[in-house]
Amino acid sequence: MASRTLTDPRLHDTPTIGLLPTAGVSVSAFLLFGLQLAGWGHALLAVSLVGAYLVSRELAKDLSLVGIGVAIVSATSVKAEVSWDRFFTIGTVLLLAVAVPYLVDRFVYRRDAIQFPWRTGQPWSRLEKSYIVAVPVLGWLILPFYFISSGAYLNWPHITNGSELARFFVGVNFVGTWDELFFICTCFALLRRHFGVWQANVLQAVIFVSFLWELGYQEWGPILTAPFALLQGWLFARTGSLLYVLIVHLLFDVIVFLAIVHAHNPGVLPIFLV
């Protein structure tokens, strides 16, 4: 099968200066999630949306949807926890962060800019199939070393019973699924309506990595999460398939789950090298 090329779905001839307010929206997420500066983050988000409106109304519409999602997520801490109240609070907030932009796009803007293309009908290439196998192998090699050597595993709770373990497993996979629905199918797809794939990809990755920092991927975690976020955007641009990027992400998250449990409970899962 011939290698697929990245199509250009840009629908709007957005001026280059439109990158400035768009970058402002991405940086606002860094302030909100990475640095925990709510006042500055929300102020920058608001100023960026006003700036986008001055550049292009279509850009302002799309950035407003990204901004709505970012603002909703910022309403609560997303630091990893497994207590029942935090489990449902974080879950509800994340669901709203995807649902509200989608509903505004459909029923206020009367468009279908946000879509969740489950399958494209095209077979995956040999390289894409190989990557699905490579992801858990790379995770198995890298993640235990990252979590243990950096101490980042302490950002996740020490699981003490079966109920907590089950909630942790569900939570890891739920957040992984949400990542693709929000950062890729919402943020990245909306930015691709105005900018090239690499511009849009870097801008969504800033939001993606900032969220993962607050979640717990700290210390030198961005060295891992930034390439992963960029790869997920690139793969979605290449395949157009939510199913594909979701399979990749959830396979990776299975190893995340096992590696964190292993880090907290050495010897319980003797399947890692570290």
CB 56 within 8 A of CB 12: yes
CB-hemisphere CA count at 13 Å for 54? Answer: 11
Number of helical H runs and strand E runs in the chain: 10, 0
Task: Read off the pTM.
Answer: 0.94
Report the mean per-residue pLDDT for the chain. 93
The model's confidence at residue 2, banded by pLDDT at 50, 70 and 90, is very low
Q: How far apart are CA 11 and CA 51, in angstroms?
A: 20
Tokens of 66: 């990204």
pLDDT digits (tens, 9 = 90+) for 248-266: 999 999 999 999 999 999 9
Average pLDDT over residues 169-182: 97
pLDDT tens column, 55-87 = 999 999 999 999 999 999 999 999 988 889 999
Q: How many CB atoms lie within 10 A of CB 272?
A: 18
Residues 6+ apart with CB under 8 A from 82: 157, 159, 164, 167, 168, 171
Residue written as token pair 């909703």: 72
CA 52 – CA 18 distance, rounded (Å): 6
Integer Cα distance of 109 and 113 in angstroms: 9
What is the CB neighbour count within 10 angstroms for residue 56? Answer: 19
Per-residue pLDDT, averaged over 163-170, amounts to 94
pLDDT at 6: 61
Reported confidence tier of residue 125, pLDDT bands at 50, 70, 90:
confident
Q: Which range has the worst mean pLDDT, 91-95, 157-161, 198-202, 204-208?
A: 157-161
**What SS3 class is residue 223?**
helix
Structure tokens at 173: 């996979």
pLDDT, tens digit, for every residue of 178-232? 999 999 999 999 999 999 999 999 999 999 999 999 999 999 999 999 999 999 9
- What are the φ/ψ torsions at residue 33 (nearest 5 degrees)? -95, -45
* Model confidence pLDDT, tens digit, residues 12-24: 778 999 999 999 9
Extended beta strands in the chain, E state: none
So what's the pLDDT on residue 1?
A: 35
For residue 8, the model assigns a pLDDT of 66
Query: How far is Cα of residue 181 from the mean position of the Cα atoms in its chain?
Result: 8
Name the token pair of 186. Answer: 């919402």
